[in-house]
Amino acid sequence: MRARALAATLAMVAGALVAGCDAEHDAKVEQAAHRCEPLSTSTPALSASFPRLGTVASATWCVRALGTPDKSRVTIPGPHDWAYYAVVRLADTAAVEAWGPWQPTENPQTSEMPATLRSLVPAQGRWSSNEAGAYLDRASATVVLNGASADTVQP
């Protein structure tokens, strides 16, 4: 009888530990999403979210969950719940020109971007920006997304 009680207690403790590990893992994943981690270099995935970029030669990017982590609510994320940060090299700028109107600006605002992404932004450029949170340097065919949501640049 005691052995059964001990076995049941051990099974409950083991189950609680596994559940705790899963909850801890889920919390770490959610916290990483709020820090814009991990960085990705998948150009098909970025092009799927931003088809109007045109042909992407290379990209380094991340998606950050907006708001604060909150386990007490269960919601389905919508397009405004995600902010994209990216440094994208295009084959040409023809497609992205339609994202305008583009206005001349000094440099991309990159303070909210992860340091790794900031280091990829060309230092010398003739930058233009638009209302979608994008910056364009036509000479290097570089687009910098700074908190853009996928629906802000769709037709």
Mean pLDDT of the chain: 75
| Structure token digits, residue 18 | 């596994």
Amino acid letter, 76: I
Spell out the residues 6+ positions from residue 99 whose beta carbon is closer than 8 angstroms to its own.
52, 130, 132, 134, 136, 153
Mean pLDDT calculated for residue range 113-135: 90
Is 29 domain-assigned?
no
Within a domain: 10: no
- What is the predicted pLDDT for the residue at 25? 43
pLDDT above 60 (res 136) = yes
Q: Which amino acid is present at 31?
A: Q
Residue 28 lies in a domain: no
- CB distance 153 to 52 below 8 Å: yes
pLDDT for res 76? 52
The pTM assigned to this predicted structure is 0.70
Task: Read off the pLDDT band of 67 (50, 70, 90).
Answer: low
What per-residue confidence (pLDDT) applies to 121? 94
**What integer is the mean pLDDT of 10-23?**
44
In a domain, 67, yes or no: yes
Q: Range of 73's domain?
A: 35-153
Q: What is the DSSP letter of 80?
A: G
Q: Quote the pLDDT of residue 88.
A: 96
Q: Is residue 9 part of a domain?
A: no
Residue 78 domain flag = yes
The answer as to whether 20 is a domain residue is no
